[in-house]
Chains A and B, each alone.
Chain A
Amino acid sequence: ETGVTQSPTHLIKTRGQQVTLRCSSQSGHNTVSWYQQALGQGPQFIFQYYREEENGRGNFPPRFSGLQFPNYSSELNVNALELDDSALYLCASSDQGASSYNEQFFGPGTRLTVL
């Protein structure tokens, strides 16, 4: 069973640029959640995709957007990058129905630095 993978592992961008981060969910999982973890903080929920539809969103501006593909992999897109977007971006996959909780398995993350 392949675990959650993310790419790239590290990324450096400048303010105003756009970035796309990718996540492959664990085999058999239909749900992907994205989190932002700033240095010294706990992860913060960005949004979740369940069977290709957004299934919840945290307190992040619209310049944070996402997609989930038929194979349940996912992308996180961030437009107009700001310095405060520098963080570890974590993807987590799970196998769940619309309202039940199942364990979320995290990928190793993408470390984004915005200069």
Chain B
Amino acid sequence: RKEVEQDPGPFNVPEGATVAFNCTYSNSASQSFFWYRQDCRKEPKLLMSVYSSGNEDGRFTAQLNRASQYISLLIRDSKLSDSATYLCVVSRAQAGTALIFGKGTTLSVSS
């Protein structure tokens, strides 16, 4: 079993749609949680950190449930520019604060 599992996708949605991505992690020692975005053939970039209290950044909302080891990302009012692969990422102090990535979920927003 992979340490970080994500919805397999791909997600194909029209502009303006709301889309939710789900992710689970298996290592309870995980300490930090993130969503990264990766455009085709580019490097990953941090989209947002995820906190237990939940956090929002414009159209993006991230939630963390430590008890069920579950992370989510909600994108409201999707834009064409949101088309990318979204990577669920956890970090733990062991192994030198390595980032552990999920496989990624591809989102395609169409007009």
Contact = CB atoms under 8 A, between A and B. Distances in A.
Contacts of B61: none
Given A42-B87, A106-B44, A108-B42, A101 B98 contact: no
A56 interface: yes
Interface string A96-111: 1001110110111100
Contacts of B99: 33, 35, 43, 45, 92, 104
A48 interface: yes
State the majority secondary structure of interface residues on B.
mixed
Interface residues of A, number: 30
Contact of B96 (A43, A55, A109): A55
A106 B43 contact: yes
A33 B100 CA distance: 12
Given A33-B96, A101-B32, 19 more contacts: A35-B99, A40-B103, A42-B87, A42-B102, A42-B104, A43-B87, A44-B101, A45-B98, A45-B100, A48-B98, A50-B96, A54-B96, A56-B94, A90-B44, A99-B93, A100-B97, A101-B31, A106-B45, A109-B43
Interface of A: 31, 33, 35, 40-45, 47-48, 50, 54-58, 90, 92, 94, 96, 99-101, 103-104, 106-109
